[in-house]
Structure 1
């Protein structure tokens, strides 16, 4: 499945900022323009998606 940053908006990821996960997201041109939402656990990353605080996880 291919997605674009325009359709993603906010991406929740396993944080904190500066970790490999964030760097991997920033290295993808289609995702680098998205708003990144750091989460302290994988469960909280998916909770952000479920609650609408993020558009993807």
Structure 2
């Protein structure tokens, strides 16, 4: 059991806790966006290509 839960105190997320996460996301966005778009394109392609093939068969 968490110490905060046993004492009745609420766990508060502060800006200082989120700063490393935000920094890593913004610094790696040049890599994350193209990779994310590629993965999304692959997933859309996997869904569309069989439909196109079945339409012509």
TM-score range normalised by the length of the shorter chain: under 0.3
Higher strand share: 1
Please give the TM-score of this superposition, normalised by the length of structure 2.
Answer: 0.21
Compare CA radii of gyration and give the structure with the larger one: 2
Please give the TM-score of this superposition, normalised by the length of structure 1.
Answer: 0.21
Higher helix share: 2
